[in-house]
């Protein structure tokens, strides 16, 4: 008998089982698909057995950053072996648009190309290989237009994808002017490729009576449904989108899976046969948007202790050629410029620069990391300026508990635990002693330099578009006592399905093994939000709990009737139900309830309370609560080569009352290393024509297991969510990405030693070895030589 179909019964008879519930949440359980992941039997979109007659698509892409298309010759493409059809914008029956908010995102370029890599035509062939080979044979004649290739150039030209955003609190200008210390400067922060292990993919199959079934690796099945329907001029109920799991999304499949879903569906509609589109890694990287790189221009005024009097920052992001999610990303950047700090007088101006590059999109943190990095950079400078330990300066600026606790966007920070969290981390990491030790080491080491830093995180949880904060779920209890759950969230490796299954098991008092979660499917739960903003478990866990609770109440009422007791006295736990003298295994209960014609399935729904947001004023309560964390990192830098190593990292992260500590620690570790890659080795580089040259792992370096510190201490902070979240847990998907700020600032601390800690190193992010060497050289040129 295979493992999945073993009976659910405990070895012990039901008399021996406890009548009180053993909790099914708050315990470490393996990922629901871990055994499939390691065995290679987990089904990703490309593993779905292909339907007879399946054709394969590839994209023909623009070779110019900005040009009018004068002519396209596709004869050679059509004549290539295996080619069945070539489609262009003209073949799209209704809307040539897959933009998630603003409709400025053509599925296929029509007359105008706006970046190198923009899809222009779709080749459909009998094999994946034949389609790819043929796609290279397209001859496009261009008339070049001047491209805009950097956020600075866009800002200078006043070229934006959206109107600028402005937020002011207090009187920053006068407070900066009157401050003891004033400084101004410029911070450069690179973007980041999502580098999901499974690339973008969509597989579309036409169904009877003008229907379309699309399997797609996407964080947002409902939006894929809408995009395909919009393109074909159909209604939503004609399109079914399904996703069992992704091999990672990281934000890159929130909106940008749409172009792939639309191209596969277009070809399937046109040719009336199943069509799969799976770009290879290089094409994926050339086509899709990434984390926004930012340029910050700031002015700051502070006192002799390093307390901020006023700060003004201009944030310019590289939106790329279209708006995509750049608006909400900028909003989140603005709402995270405070990070964990009270900014009494502050001015923030956000500009989404329109450039002739890929349209940048969501990436873990969604602008939050960029906004918070800027204030951390500023405070890092302030500390050196006033000659204090940067942790002391950071502490001096933290939000208070009862005062100094209102964010620039008007939300009161009610659940602040950053003081206690930092106390605990400072002690457990032995920060003070180790800081002294790095100084002592550096005094005797002319080439190798150590650095150390602690940085805090405060991250707002909820979509910053209030109505996205809703979710639905379906729970079926079959009459053998097995349970099937379906919800609107998508599984991308983060463990959402595991957590939702645990919530359902807990609610029904049954073991997790009884509960199975199925593929996300727009025909089961309608109008879902993207699985994003870290809210997957908060939203879908609550919706599934609502569904399970309704079934439990019906079962309790049934059992109470049988036993002649009050429904409130019925207990569920350990696969057992106890009602007065009645003791029944859950399977028997389900069978008996079915025979008694009790409804054994239910829907569930949840909306996050307390949220309101005025986007025009950038004021309100965009977040239900905050997640907190802090990390201490120590590095060793070779100042002759710019090479470095992370020697030790200590992380303390607030996941509330964790639903599944093993999965949460995995999220914290993964987020930390991914964020470290962003700030150090991952560099996106476009050449002077605007061509992305780092479009493969050969030139784009993500961290590997070798880059993880040998000494890596990750712990969860003991803390219940102050709000009524699912079992008082906290969202954990994105916030840990900000923890490795400590790695960057530890590198900067090591570089600062070259100037005896008196000069602020001009270190840019990512701090590649080259960037580290540049900063060291600049220090040697400006600072007194100490070694």
Q: Catalog residues that contact ligand HPA under the rule CB under 6 A.
A: 254, 325, 328, 332, 362, 366, 463-465, 468, 530, 532-533
Cβ burial of 403 (10 Å; 0-12, 13-18, 19+) is: exposed
Is-contact 57 123, C-beta < 8 A?
yes
What is the smallest separation between the CB atom of 656 and ligand MTE, expressed in angstroms?
13
Q: Which of 734, 749, 754, 766 binds ligand MTE (CB under 6 A)?
A: 734
| Secondary structure class of 384 (helix, strand, coil) | helix
For the window 476-495, what string marks contact with ligand MTE as x by the rule CB under 6 A? ----------------xxx-
Is-contact 336 460, C-beta < 8 A?
yes
Q: Which of 218, 222, 497, 535 binds ligand MTE (CB under 6 A)?
A: 535
Which of the listed partners (ligand HPA, ligand MOS, ligand MTE, none) does 289 bind, with a CB threshold of 5 to 8 Å by partner kind? Answer: none
How far apart are the C-alpha atoms of 502 and 395, rounded to whole Å?
Answer: 38
Footprint on this chain of ligand MOS (rule: CB under 6 A): 219, 251, 254, 362-364, 366, 532-533, 734
Is-contact 483 516, C-beta < 8 A?
yes
Whether 6 is a known active-site residue: answer no
Containing H/E element for 166? strand 165-169
Q: What tokens were used for 623? A: 């977040």
Which of the listed partners (ligand MTE, ligand HPA, ligand MOS, none) does 328 bind, with a CB threshold of 5 to 8 Å by partner kind? Answer: ligand HPA
What is the smallest separation between the CB atom of 558 and ligand MTE, expressed in angstroms?
34
Q: Residue 288: which of 327, 254, 315 has the closest Cα?
A: 254
For the window 636-675, what string marks contact with ligand MTE as x by the rule CB under 6 A? -------------------------------x--x-----
Nearer to ligand MTE, 140 or 533 (CB): 533
Question: Which one of the listed residues 426, 669, 683, 734 is annotated catalytic?
Answer: 734
Instruction: Check binding of 730 to ligand MTE (CB under 6 A).
Output: no
Is-contact 212 268, C-beta < 8 A?
yes
What is the smallest separation between the CB atom of 617 and ligand MTE, expressed in angstroms?
26
Q: What tokens were used for 90? A: 């003209």
Instruction: Check binding of 536 to ligand MTE (CB under 6 A).
Output: yes
Nearer to ligand MOS, 456 or 735 (CB): 735
Q: Residue 328: which of 621, 24, 533, 635 has the closest Cα?
A: 533
Q: Mark the segment that binds ligand MTE (CB under 6 A) among 527-535, 573-581, 582-590, 684-692.
A: 527-535
What is the smallest separation between the CB atom of 172 and ligand MTE, expressed in angstroms?
32
Nearer to ligand MOS, 322 or 571 (CB): 322
To which residue do tokens 């080569």 refer? 641
Cβ burial of 235 (10 Å; 0-12, 13-18, 19+) is: exposed
What is the smallest separation between the CB atom of 327 and ligand HPA, expressed in angstroms?
9
What's the order of all strands across the beta sheet hosting 346-354?
Answer: 165-169, 346-354, 308-320, 294-302, 181-189
Q: Within 13 Å and on the Cβ side, how many CA atoms surround 641?
A: 7
What is the smallest separation between the CB atom of 421 and ligand MTE, expressed in angstroms?
20
Nearer to ligand HPA, 190 or 460 (CB): 460
Nearer to ligand HPA, 366 or 399 (CB): 366
What is the smallest separation between the CB atom of 363 and ligand MOS, expressed in angstroms?
5
Which residues touch 3 (CB under 8 Å, ≥6 apart)?
A: 35
For the window 236-275, what string marks contact with ligand MTE as x by the rule CB under 6 A? ------------xxxx------------------------
Nearer to ligand HPA, 416 or 529 (CB): 529
What is the smallest separation between the CB atom of 462 and ligand MOS, expressed in angstroms?
11
Which residues touch 742 (CB under 8 Å, ≥6 apart)?
A: 453, 454, 455, 630, 631, 632, 633, 649
Q: Which of 220, 292, 302, 364 binds ligand MTE (CB under 6 A)?
A: 364
Which of the listed partners (ligand MTE, ligand HPA, ligand MOS, none) does 465 bind, with a CB threshold of 5 to 8 Å by partner kind? Answer: ligand HPA
Per the document, the length of the chain is: 787
How far apart are the C-alpha atoms of 305 and 189, rounded to whole Å?
Answer: 27
How far apart are the C-alpha atoms of 10 and 573, rounded to whole Å?
Answer: 13
What is the smallest separation between the CB atom of 464 and ligand HPA, expressed in angstroms?
5
Q: Residue 190: which of 348, 311, 296 has the closest Cα?
A: 296
Nearer to ligand MOS, 249 or 656 (CB): 249
Instruction: Check binding of 517 to ligand MTE (CB under 6 A).
Output: no
What is the smallest separation between the CB atom of 532 and ligand HPA, expressed in angstroms?
4
Q: Residue 657: which of 588, 591, 595, 731 has the closest Cα?
A: 731
Q: What tokens were used for 647? A: 């020697």
Instruction: Check binding of 223 to ligand MTE (CB under 6 A).
Output: no
Nearest-CB residue to ligand MOS? 251
Which of the listed partners (ligand MOS, ligand HPA, ligand MTE, none) does 332 bind, with a CB threshold of 5 to 8 Å by partner kind? Answer: ligand HPA
Long-range contacts of 594-598 (CB under 8 A, 24+ apart): 594/479, 596/558, 598/554, 598/555, 598/558
How far apart are the C-alpha atoms of 352 and 314, rounded to whole Å?
Answer: 11
- Sign of torsion over alpha carbons 214, 218, 220, 223: negative
Which residues in the 124-163 window bind ligand MTE by CB under 6 A? none
Cβ burial of 334 (10 Å; 0-12, 13-18, 19+) is: buried
Q: Which of 200, 416, 534, 660 binds ligand MTE (CB under 6 A)?
A: 534
Nearer to ligand HPA, 504 or 533 (CB): 533
Which of the listed partners (ligand HPA, ligand MOS, ligand MTE, none) does 496 bind, with a CB threshold of 5 to 8 Å by partner kind? Answer: ligand MTE
Which residues touch 362 (CB under 8 Å, ≥6 apart)?
A: 251, 252, 254, 255, 325, 329, 532
Give the residues across from 448 on adjacent strands: 638
Which of the listed partners (ligand MOS, ligand MTE, ligand HPA, none) does 529 bind, with a CB threshold of 5 to 8 Å by partner kind? Answer: none
Nearer to ligand HPA, 496 or 578 (CB): 496
Q: Which of 125, 502, 532, 543 binds ligand MTE (CB under 6 A)?
A: 532
How far apart are the C-alpha atoms of 239 and 54, rounded to whole Å?
Answer: 19
Say how many residues touch ligand MTE, by CB under 6 A. Answer: 21
Nearer to ligand MTE, 327 or 369 (CB): 369
C-alpha distance from residue 520 to each of 110, 116, 312, 576 (Å)? 33, 34, 44, 30
What is the smallest separation between the CB atom of 370 and ligand HPA, expressed in angstroms?
13
Which of the listed partners (ligand HPA, ligand MOS, ligand MTE, none) does 198 bind, with a CB threshold of 5 to 8 Å by partner kind? Answer: none
Which of the listed partners (ligand HPA, ligand MTE, ligand MOS, none) does 667 bind, with a CB threshold of 5 to 8 Å by partner kind? Answer: ligand MTE
What is the smallest separation between the CB atom of 143 and ligand HPA, expressed in angstroms?
36
Containing H/E element for 318? strand 308-320
Instruction: Check binding of 339 to ligand MTE (CB under 6 A).
Output: no
Nearer to ligand MTE, 147 or 670 (CB): 670
What is the smallest separation between the CB atom of 219 and ligand MOS, expressed in angstroms?
6
Q: Residue 493: which of 249, 312, 768 has the closest Cα?
A: 249
How far apart are the C-alpha atoms of 217 and 337, rounded to whole Å?
Answer: 32
| Residues annotated as catalytic (active site), given as ranges | 734
Q: Which residues bind ligand MTE (CB under 6 A)?
A: 248-251, 364, 492-494, 496, 531-537, 667, 670, 731, 733-734
């Amino acid at each position: 008998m295979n493992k999945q179909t073993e009976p659910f019964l405990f070895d012990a008879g039901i008399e021996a089982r406890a009548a009180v519930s053993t909790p099914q949440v708050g315990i470490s359980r393996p990922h629901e698909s871990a055994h499939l992941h390691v065995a290679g039997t987990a089904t990703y979109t490309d593993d779905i057995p292909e339907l007879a007659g399946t054709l394969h698509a590839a994209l023909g892409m623009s070779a110019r950053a900005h040009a009018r298309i004068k002519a396209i010759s596709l004869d050679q493409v059509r004549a290539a072996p295996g080619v069945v059809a070539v489609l262009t914008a003209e073949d799209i029956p209704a809307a040539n648009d897959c933009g998630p908010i603003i409709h400025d995102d053509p599925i296929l370029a029509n007359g105008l190309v706006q970046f190198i890599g923009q899809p222009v035509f779709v080749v459909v062939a009998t094999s994946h290989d034949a389609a790819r080979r043929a796609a290279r044979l397209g001859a496009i004649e261009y008339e070049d237009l001047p491209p805009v290739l950097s956020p600075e150039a866009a800002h200078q030209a006043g070229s934006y994808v959206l109107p600028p955003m402005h937020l002011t609190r207090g009187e920053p200008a006068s407070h900066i002017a009157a401050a003891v210390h004033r400084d101004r400067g410029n911070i450069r922060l690179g973007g980041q490729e999502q580098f999901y292990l499974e690339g973008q993919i969509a597989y579309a199959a036409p169904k009877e009576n003008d229907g379309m079934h699309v399997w797609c690796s996407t964080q947002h099945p409902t939006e894929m449904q809408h995009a395909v329907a919009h393109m074909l001029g159909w209604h939503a109920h004609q399109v079914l989108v399904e996703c069992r799991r992704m091999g990672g999304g990281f934000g890159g499949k929130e909106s940008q899976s749409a172009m792939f879903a639309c191209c596969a569906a277009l070809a399937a509609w046109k040719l009336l046969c199943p069509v799969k589109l799976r770009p290879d890694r290089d094409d994926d990287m050339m086509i899709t948007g990434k984390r926004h790189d930012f340029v910050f221009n700031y002015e700051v005024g502070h006192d002799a202790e390093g307390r901020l009097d006023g700060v003004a920052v201009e944030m310019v992001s590289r939106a790329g050629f279209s708006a995509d999610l750049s608006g909400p990303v900028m909003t989140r950047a603005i709402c995270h410029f405070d990070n964990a700090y009270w900014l009494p007088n502050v001015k923030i101006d956000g500009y989404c620069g329109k450039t002739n590059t890929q349209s940048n999109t969501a990436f873990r943190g969604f602008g939050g990391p960029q906004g918070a990095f800027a204030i951390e950079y500023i405070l890092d400078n302030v500390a050196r300026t006033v000659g204090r330990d940067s942790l002391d300066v950071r502490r001096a600026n933290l939000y208070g508990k009862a005062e100094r606790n209102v964010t620039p966007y008007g939300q009161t920070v009610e659940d602040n635990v950053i003081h206690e969290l930092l106390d605990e981390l400072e002690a457990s990491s032995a920060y003070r002693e180790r800081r002294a030790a790095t100084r002592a080491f550096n005094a005797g080491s002319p080439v190798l330099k150590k650095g150390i830093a602690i940085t805090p995180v405060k991250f707002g949880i909820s979509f910053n578009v209030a109505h996205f904060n809703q979710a639905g779920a379906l729970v079926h209890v079959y009459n053998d006592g097995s349970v099937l759950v379906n919800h609107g969230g998508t599984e991308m490796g983060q463990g959402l399905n595991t957590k939702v299954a645990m919530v359902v098991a807990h609610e029904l008092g049954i073991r997790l093994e009884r509960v199975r979660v199925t593929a996300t499917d727009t025909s089961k739960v309608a109008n879902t939000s993207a699985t994003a903003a870290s809210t997957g478990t908060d939203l879908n866990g609550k919706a599934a709990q609502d569904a399970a609770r309704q079934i439990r109440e019906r079962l309790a009422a049934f059992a109470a009737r049988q036993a002649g007791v009050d429904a409130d006295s019925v207990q569920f736990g350990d696969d057992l139900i106890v009602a007065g003298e009645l003791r029944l295994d859950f399977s028997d209960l389900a069978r008996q309830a079915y025979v008694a014609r009790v409804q054994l399935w239910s829907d569930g729904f949840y909306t996050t309370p307390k949220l309101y947001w005025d986007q025009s004023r950038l004021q309100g309560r965009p977040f239900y609560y905050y997640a907190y964390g802090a990390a201490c990192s120590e590095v060793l830098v070779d100042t002759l080569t710019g090479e470095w190593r992370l020697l030790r990292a200590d992380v303390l992260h607030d996941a509330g009352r964790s639903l599944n500590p093993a999965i949460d620690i995995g999220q914290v570790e993964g987020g930390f290393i991914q964020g470290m890659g962003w700030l150090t080795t991952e560099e996106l580089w476009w050449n002077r024509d605007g061509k992305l040259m780092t479009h493969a792992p050969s030139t784009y370096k993500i961290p590997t297991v070798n880059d993880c510190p040998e000494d890596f201490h990750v712990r969860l902070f003991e803390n219940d969510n102050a709000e009524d979240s699912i079992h008082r847990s906290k969202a954990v998907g994105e916030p840990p990405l900000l923890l490795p700020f400590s790695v960057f600032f530890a590198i900067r601390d090591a570089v600062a030693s070259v100037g005896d800690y008196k000069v602020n190193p001009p270190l840019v992010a990512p701090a590649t070895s080259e960037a580290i060497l540049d900063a060291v050289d600049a220090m040697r040129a400006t600072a007194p030589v100490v070694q």
